[in-house]
Every structure is written in structure tokens, then in C-alpha cells.
Amino acid sequence: MNFLAYFVTFENLHEVRRLCHWGPVIALSVIAICSTMAILDSIIWYWPLDTTGGSINFIMLINWTVLILYNYFNAMFVGPGYIALGWRPENQQEAQYLQYCRVCQGYKPPRSHHCRKCNRCVMKMDHHCPWINNCCGHMNHAYFTSFLLLAPLGCSHAAIIFIMTMYTQLYERISFGWSTVKIDMSAVRQFQPLMPFSVSAFAATLFALGLALGTTIAVGMLFFIQMKVILRNKTSIESWIEEKAKDRIQHYQTGEEFIFPYDLSSRWLNFKQVFTWSGTPKGDGIEWPVHPKCHQHTLTIEQLKQKTDKRVRSQVQYRAVEDYNGACCPLKKGLQTFFRTPCTEEPRIPLSKGDTILATRGTKWWMYGDKVLNDEQMRVGERVRGWFPRRCVEKCHYDTAASDSTSEKKVN
């Protein structure tokens, strides 16, 4: 009972709600379909109990499934590691180099960012992944990357089983005209069990083959992206910060030299920051080993400079001229707006005529920004930001200097 109580706690049961999301539902469905069909087809194609090759094939198949699910659930339930609510640095003077999060009522340590989906500040946040319905960050980065490696390997093995099953079952039934394509299957045919390969079984195998090949390609590409992140010790968010740092330095011609602080100048050392024999990444998620020419707050100071620069040259004031209900794909706002909706989980914000919005970025058909709130809403820390159709707003042509003080009150 003590062993069971170690795993089944209220906190863990509370985390089970992460499964109730389209991402895990689809991911686990793909794993279940491919694994189940591969096991059934391996019994039809290569009976595992009478040959050494069949036994090895079957054991490897079960092994892939177990390892994939182990890393998937660890990536989901171990989580990225969250900053304690109300966190403050031990040395209060360091607070001037950090951003303050009003939602968590605390400061953000280096490399941490606030996730709107998780509603918490996340250690070394890379991105929020809908497939695990959690963030990829400090604590679960190794599990997440291992899952991205194992899933294509397991699906490749399953795809081979699907192809060979269809070949062996249809070779003697249908003539494909493959007079030169012959595979000696006498060893595996010798011990075939009595399991019928019907039309429905063929259709299911063909469907599972499509899932396996699609997963191999899509997830394999994600694996290479994550390995690039790990070997450079630079998250996707930090890559964007570095790019904006170079743009800021070039725009103002300051002559600064920005050195990314967390690249240890060795891919092996960067790799060992994430992958360890214990399974727990190095560091506490607060302090990090840095480049000799940098210090703990090199990146956070650059972030503060970029936030200040963003207020100066990025925020443009717009006024809503049409109502917008916050729909993801609003058909009433035009076909281009409907089909060019941003492919992101970032929220949409409803608008009413007369609302004022500070836009920070956008596309030809959509814009992203913060809605200007009244004093009472700002006092309680409320913030409304997201995407809205460009046709619903028009740029304010009057002097917006009076509104700059309002925008400066917004905390990122």
C-alpha cells in the first residue's frame, strides 16, 4: 500500500486532467492503433513462439511501445518545473535585473517564462506542446526528446511489419506483375497461426501504415529540431531573444556585442546539461552555468532592454471600428481572414466598437496586441491580449503620447 501511495497522490490525480485534451487523445490514439495493429500483424506475419527471429521481432515491438509510453507520460506528468509562486531572489538587488510576473506575483528567474496555458512561470521554457498538454522545459526536456526519438523508431519498425504482412498475405492471392520481386518467406510461413487476413484487416493495416509513416516523418523532424536546441543549449524562445538583440543593436548602432550566455562552447557539455544517467537534468532551474564573458543576468538584462524598445517603436495604437466575438475563424470577417487565421494556440480577444488596442505584431490579415484596460482592471493585474482581425481596427492618427504612460504600466 505504501508503494501505491507513493504514486497515487492527490497531486498526481489532479494532473490526470491533462489527458482530457485533444493533443494527448490524438497522440495516445495513434500509439494505440499502431502498437495494436503491429502486434496482431506480427503474429500473422512472423509467429513469435516457434522461431528466434519471430521472438526477437515481437520483443522489440513490445519494447518500443513500453519505452514510448514511459517517456511520453514522464514528459507530461513530470512537467517542466515551475517557479514557486511569489518567488524573489535571495539578493534583493538582483530584482532590478529581472522581469516581474503579476499573475504569479513574483519575479522570473533567468531562462524562465510565463506560460498562459499552464498559468505558471516555467523553468527554461522552450514551448508549450499540445501533444503532451504541458510545457517542454527544464525537468522534462530529456523525456520529451527521448519520446521524439523513440516514436519514429517504433513507427518505422511497425511500418516494416505492416508492409511485410500485406506482402506475404497478398503475394499468392493477387498477381501484381512483380516477376522480379521475390522474397523468400518459407521460414516464416512454416509456423503461421490460423488468423484470417480479411479485407477489413487489410484496410486496418493500410490505415495503420499511413499513421506510422506520417508519425515517422513529422515526429522525426521535431526530434532534429529539439536536438538542435539541446546541442546549442538555446531554447526556441531564447533564439528569438538573441535575434531581437542583434536587431536592436543594429537599429540603434550601439556597438554592443551580445554573447549568448548559456552556450558552453561544447556540444557535449551542452548535451550533458539535459541528458544525465540519473534522468534528472543538471541545475536547480534558477542558476545556470554561463559563458566566461557573461553573468547570470546577461539575458534578463537584454530582455528588459527589448521590452523598453518594444514600447518605443513597436506598440501602435488602434481603435476598434467593428465588433468581433473572438472566434478563431470568423467567416463574417471575409474569406481571407477566415483562411489566413494564425496557426497558433494563442488566444483571440473579443472587440467592441471604441476599444483601444496596442498592437505589437501582425500579419496582412490579423494583428496581435494588448487591449487597453481601465484603471480598476489594471489594479487587479488583469491583462487581455491576443489576435484579432486587422479589418476590425483602424490606426489612431492622433498624438498618442498621452497614452504612453498607460502602456508603460503594463507588465510583461
- Annotated catalytic residue 129: yes
Half-sphere exposure of 311 (CA within 13 A, CB side): 16
348 forms beta bridges with 387
- Please work out, in degrees rounded to the nearest 5, the angle formed at the alpha carbon of residue 161 by the alpha carbons of 160 and 166: 100
Choosing from 101, 129, 136, 155, the catalytic residue is: 129
398 forms beta bridges with none
In Å, how far from its chain's centre is CA 203?
Answer: 32
Do residues 385 and 373 touch, judged by C-beta distance below 8 A?
no
The whole-angstrom separation of Cα 335 and Cα 354 is 24
Please state, as a whole number, how many other Cβ atoms lie within 10 Å of the Cβ of residue 138.
28
122 forms beta bridges with 82, 113
The whole-angstrom separation of Cα 78 and Cα 84 is 16
The C-alpha cell 550601439 sits at: 254
Assign 209 to helix, strand or coil: helix
Helices 141-170 and 22-45, packing angle to 10 deg? 40
Burial class (CB in 10 A: 0-12, 13-18, 19+), 351: buried
Do residues 323 and 291 touch, judged by C-beta distance below 8 A?
no
Q: Give one DSSP letter per residue of 241-276, joined into a string.
A: HHHHHHHHHHHHT-------TT--S-HHHHHHHH--
Q: Give one DSSP letter per residue of 326-379, joined into a string.
A: --SS-GGG-HHHHHT--SSSPPB--B-TT-EEEEEEE-SSEEEEEE---HHHHH
Q: Give one DSSP letter per residue of 147-184, joined into a string.
A: HHHHHHHHHHHHHHHHHHHHHHHHTTTS--S-TT----
Residues with active-site annotation: 129
